[in-house]
Structure 1
Amino acid sequence: MKIMMGALAAGAGFGAATSLINALSSPYGELGAPLRGTIWAGAAKVLSLLVDAGWSWAALAVAVGWLAGTPVRGALAGALALIAATGAYYVTDAFASGAESEMVRWGVAAVPLGLALGAVGAAIRRPGLIGLLAALTVPVGAAVQMVVLPPQPHPTLTPTIVLAEVIVWTGAVLTAGWVVHRFWAARRAAVAG
């Protein structure tokens, strides 16, 4: 029960924070206008590009699934986290920027995606190839999203977009490298033992 409550809390916190960061990153909104022209506006834009991306929402579900431990609990925790994140995002959006809601559509999508990604998170604990593939899900997903749908809300590259892309690529490469290293170290230890 604690794990599921934690997944709900993590999801709600992530969704609300994402919405607030988006509101702060917009120089045209009430929250973002005072930051216009400051270093904080650039920081908010970079954060917005990082947390309002599909791979980061997937990482939320994978992380709570990993914390849950078993495939069933992981799947449930992943779904709960994404449902809570979606609800909190759109409720906060309504207050922070008066944006229209797509909560029902994304809430429905959160169920199968959360179940699958939460189960993947739980599978990270498994030894061998299954654990390796599960652990590579988020970094490979981030890299694929960078190729297929990079964070470029403007037709021209800006320093904030370039910085966000560098952060995502660096994180994806370092994480994938660590995962592969961990896999080979465990394999060597099993052969030696």
Structure 2
Amino acid sequence: MTRLVVILVQALAVGAGFGAATSLVNAVSHNSADLESSAYTTSGWSAAEIVSVLLDSGWAWAGLAVAAGWLLTRAEGSRRAAPAQGAAAGVLALLAATAAYSVADTIRSGGPWYESQQPVWWVAGVIFGAPLGAVGACVRRPGAIGLFARLTVPVGAAVQMVVLPPGRNEVVETIGKTIVWTGAAASIGFVVVRFLQERRRRSVTAD
């Protein structure tokens, strides 16, 4: 039980760190952008802006909730965690990230921290954090359930690049999509190969 509490606290800490880091990178990206320049607006980019569009993407926040659920599988050395516990961890992580993001924005701009983010993001943290955290709790499970859980984030990231690509101009969008698609393809390949190897090993052992 103590171990479980520690991991839930870790989920809160990871969420808060992610939210604060995202706000900070967004600020650096905004301050370094020369939006008054026509050339920069249409084709300019910076490393900070690329990191910003990656961290502030839906798939990255979804990955945070999945990671929070996965942390629970470390409790007491267990490979399994109740999906309900993973759901709670996912919600806590996203709410902590939203709060930290709001506080960091407030430090830079002033005003009440709870007013810096629209209520929809707090609601989204609960609605999406629960199922994504439950998915994270299933990551280490064997079989199809574990496979689908491990593929959730990379597949979701690849799909988002088609439906809602990041970036304010074509150059930033292209760089962002290239990075995400490359990372997603590598992750999917690794997960599938690892799954097939484990399945073959279990088959040989059974024989």
Same fold (TM over 0.5): yes
Match of 2:146 in 1: 131
Match of 1:116 in 2: 131
Structure 2: gaps spanning 5 or more residues: 35-39, 74-80
Match of 2:76 in 1: none
> How many Å separate the matches in 1 of 2:153 and 2:57?
12
Match of 2:25 among 21, 27, 35: 21
Match of 1:51 in 2: 55
Match of 1:86 in 2: 98
> How many Å separate the matches in 1 of 2:194 and 2:27?
39
Report SS of the residue matched to 1:126: coil
Structure 1: gaps spanning 5 or more residues: none
Identity %: 56
Read off the aligned partner of 2:155 and give its amino acid letter.
V
Match of 2:184 in 1: 172
Read off the aligned partner of 1:66 and give its amino acid letter.
W
Match of 1:184 in 2: 196
Q: What does the per-residue CA deviation read over 1:121-168, in whole Å, with 9 as the maximum and x for residues that have no partner? A: 1111111111111111000100110000001323xx12x432222111
> How many Å separate the matches in 1 of 2:110 and 2:158?
32
> How many Å separate the matches in 2 of 1:97 and 1:183?
48
Report SS of the residue matched to 1:117: helix
State whether structure 2 residue 75 is matched by structure 1 residue 63: no
Instruction: Give the TM-score taking structure 2 as reference length.
Output: 0.82
> How many Å separate the matches in 1 of 2:117 and 2:100?
12
> CA separation of 1:130/1:86 partners in 2, compared to 1, >3 Å: closer, same or farther?
same
Runs of 4+ in 1 over 6 A off after TM superposition: none
What's the offset of the Cα at 1:111?
1.1
What's the offset of the Cα at 1:33?
6.5
Match of 2:13 in 1: 9
Contact 1:86–1:103 (CA under 8 A) maintained in structure 2: no
What's the offset of the Cα at 1:90?
1.5
Q: May I ask how many residue pairs the two structures share in their alignment?
A: 182
Say which one has the larger Rg: 2
Match of 2:120 among 84, 98, 105: 105
Match of 1:161 in 2: 173
Contact 1:22–1:48 (CA under 8 A) maintained in structure 2: yes
CA RMSD of aligned residues (A): 2.1
> How many Å separate the matches in 1 of 2:202 and 2:110?
56
